[in-house]
Structure 1
């Protein structure tokens, strides 16, 4: 039997950040996946987590865990696949370091990912975005901070991890103002900012508390804003904006909806999917194609470009009065 704790610690603390050079957000996501897995197996076996063995994280245990997060924790298939990807990555790490679990690793790799339904992306209209950006109270320090965060999240189309992780030194206030983003996979991009967005950020920096934390946006304790913190801020201002634009009541507004909204507005303005991919930091156009499926403008242009099919228009013939009378009985 092979102890799990020492190998899992080496995988999370050394292999991911140093050898794989995974971002801090990826490391956090993997750590949380294993927190859920280890706690689940520990409860199933009635055994302390630190005493678990790698052999006990076998295929039946993993399949039971995946069922648990889907049906008990009510996670979507995409979350299930993300947890499974973390587990498979760990067993790939073990293959060359713990040969005794090689056969077990091969069986884990054979667990299939679950097919995910690809619905249309949710986005906000221009009126709804304007109401949301105007919701924070500009007379208070927290309102100035919240307004700057909402403006930057939408105008730059940022992932929530990118937004909360921005440092003070990543904002360039020189005209034209810009922000330096370190995105998924450590891919970097520099985005110019609207004047209104830059002004909102400058207003926040002017009153930002002098603390040791170098991140741009701080929570009430003077530390780096968390993902959950921004989600709470967004939900609060979405409720306030809904009193101005009632259509917001029926929409689930998340940080990623702001990113989708930015992409949709940019696609409608530029008609260039490559520019949208560049702005969002997508490595492949395949990731950006979801916005083409949600935008009807492209389809209308295709429909207008089609030649008439030569179908002759028919003539309207009124229904027979007797048959119409009989059908009503």
Structure 2
């Protein structure tokens, strides 16, 4: 049984391929190509984010374990086996806890299998009726409205900033992250992936350039590089540029990761960049401390906020032409941008009255 981890196998690196019993062994690479093979493995990893690779590896492990319990083989790929697997996921029989997976989880698991099989050079046909028809039935039967994170609006962000201690490095760092994340409509991975300058680190996902009227954030995304413009705020207390400059100055950061761990009882800054989970934790804790959506029960409030709340907040509150919001979020379509618009006046355009009723 194969427990192939995505990213560990590639046609580009046959000497490292994970093989099944009975597979013909691949000829070893000549010594002068080993360095090129190492570079190829790096490109394979760069083709997807670390979070995606972790999720895909977990999904492959889940599928492999299910096949092992059913006495089925994972190779060669079988559309019928995969169809039975996603059926088990939807019905709650794929694992011992009998918890059915959501449609979104099932679709991600299927993407993981497709990706992993492709990496082995043994493609899985998702259009096969054993998969496509079953998946369509699962969507029709179990699909539910998406559970979106709550948007934090400008007044919420201001209240959240007041919960942070301006006299500590941690407080200054968190202020800068909240303001840049909101004003730039950045994903949590984009926030923590920023460096001070271009090419500072190998794992950096972008960098910042501070100008007179604001800052330019250059980001590496799924479809290439893009630039996000963040203007200066209407006051120093809510200006993302000033917040970032203050953090960099007092944390004595001139090179490398922009947002780092605070160590030494809060008096020093370490070399390691923060993880995206810490952004989600910051947004949740600050929103709860500020009493955002205090009209909701405590348990429900805890599930409402995460890193995406900043991104949705800008999309919901910026009173500008929609195309500018779409550009800031890096969306290919206006429809995708509208999905991010939460707590706003949805009836600013009243088609009922416009039609004469």
Instruction: Return 32-41 or 160-169, whichever deviates more.
Output: 32-41
The answer to whether the 8 Å contact 1:124/1:258 transfers is yes
Alignment match of 1:215 (pick from 214, 236, 257)? 257
Q: Deviations over 1:304-329 (max 9, x none)?
A: 32224xxxxxxxxxxxxxxxxxxxxx
Indicate the residue corresponding to 1:54 in structure 2: 75
- One of 27, 32, 40 as aligned partner of 2:55: 32
Which of structures 1 and 2 has the bigger CA Rg? 1
What is the match of residue 224 of structure 1?
273
Task: Confirm or deny: 8 A CA contact 1:292 1:298 kept in the other structure.
Answer: no
Q: In the alignment, what sits opposite 1:10?
A: 9
C-alpha separation between the residues in 2 aligned to 1:6 and 1:118? 29
1:86 is matched with which residue? Answer: 112
Tell me if structure 1 keeps the 8 A contact 2:313–2:341: no
Matched, 1:263 2:315: yes
**Pair 7,185 (structure 1): closer, same or farther in 2 beyond 3 Å:** closer
TM-score of the superposed pair, with normalisation by structure 2: 0.67
Give the C-alpha shift of residue 216 in structure 1: 0.8
The 5 Å alignment of 1:230-245 reads 230-242=279-291
Q: Which residue of 2 aligns with 1:191?
A: 229
TM-score under structure 1 normalisation?
0.72
Q: How many residues align?
A: 292
Matched, 1:288 2:333: no
1:137 Cα offset (Å)? 0.6
Secondary structure in 1 matching 2:104: helix
Q: Structure 2 CA distance, aligned partners of 1:125 and 1:260?
A: 9
Q: CA deviation at 1:69?
A: 7.8
Contact 2:185 2:312 in 1 (8 A): yes
2-structure distance, mates of 1:151, 1:6 = 37
**8 Å Cα contact 1:78-1:116 kept in structure 2:** no
Higher strand share: 2
Consecutive unaligned residues of structure 2, counting only runs of 5 or more, are 14-39, 198-206, 234-238, 263-269
- What pairs with 1:164-183 in structure 2 (closer than 5 Å)? 164-169=192-197, 170-178=207-215, 179-183=217-221
Over 3 Å counting, the alpha-carbon distance change for 1:46 and 1:8 in structure 2 is farther
> What is the CA–CA distance in structure 2 between the aligned matches of 1:74 and 1:80, rounded to whole Å?
10
For structure 1, which runs of at least 5 residues remain unmatched after alignment?
A: 309-329
Structure 1: how far apart are the matches of 2:258 and 2:86?
40
Q: Note if 1:139 corresponds to 2:164.
A: no
SS in 1 for 2:9: helix
Partner residue of 1:277 out of 322, 326, 331 = 326
Residue range with higher mean Cα deviation, 128-137 or 275-284: 128-137
Secondary structure class of the residue paired with 1:9: coil
